[in-house]
Amino acid sequence: MPPTAEALMRSRYTAYTRDDIGYIASTLAASRRNAFDAVAAKSWATRATWLGLRIVSTARGQESDADGVVSFVATYREGGKTIEHHETSQFRRDDDGAWRFVEGDTRAVVSEPKRGGGAAKVGRNDPCPCGSGRKYKFCCGR
């Protein structure tokens, strides 16, 4: 199993890109296993064309910690739209010391294809497209 919460989160992303839902299920905390919908997870993983992963922040979650938080953005295409899946995930070590996914707070940002050319550029003083309400230069534009 991965040595840190961030490493577990990255391995879960990779599992989604490979449709390895068995691995996703095996990394869940015991309290989450009964509620996990493997069919829906498999459907989502299969429909999506995975484009990348960006770690936004981590708190705790190191080899000596018992819990951790990882915020990330996973970008994918589905149905002709580019979607940024923003999530802050909670991780905890179980009794055997392995990191497990506990829960995630998610938000999706959908980008429609633009007509007449490329995507519009975001100015440094414009609102951040992630929806945080902060200026781009103080948020994702760092």
Give the pLDDT confidence of 35-56 residue by residue, as tens digits.
Answer: 999 999 999 999 999 999 999 9
- Indicate whether 37 belongs to any domain: yes
- Indicate whether 126 belongs to any domain: no
- Indicate whether 122 belongs to any domain: no
- Indicate whether 119 belongs to any domain: no
> Is 130 strand, coil or helix?
coil
- Indicate whether 22 belongs to any domain: yes
> Is 56 strand, coil or helix?
strand
Among 28, 31, 11, residue whose Cα is nearest residue 20: 11
The proportion of the chain whose per-residue pLDDT surpasses 70, expressed as a percent, equals 87
Enclosing domain of residue 40? 5-113
Q: How many independent structural domains does the chain possess? A: 1
**93-139: pLDDT as tens digits:** 999 999 999 999 998 788 766 555 555 677 777 776 666 677 767 76
What whole-number distance in Å separates Cα of residue 24 and Cα of residue 33? 10
- Indicate whether 59 belongs to any domain: yes
Radius of gyration of the chain (CA): 17
Name the least confident of 14-18, 47-51, 78-82: 78-82
- Indicate whether 141 belongs to any domain: no
Q: Does residue 33 carry a pLDDT above 80?
A: yes
- Indicate whether 131 belongs to any domain: no
Q: CATH number for the domain including 99?
A: 3.10.450.50
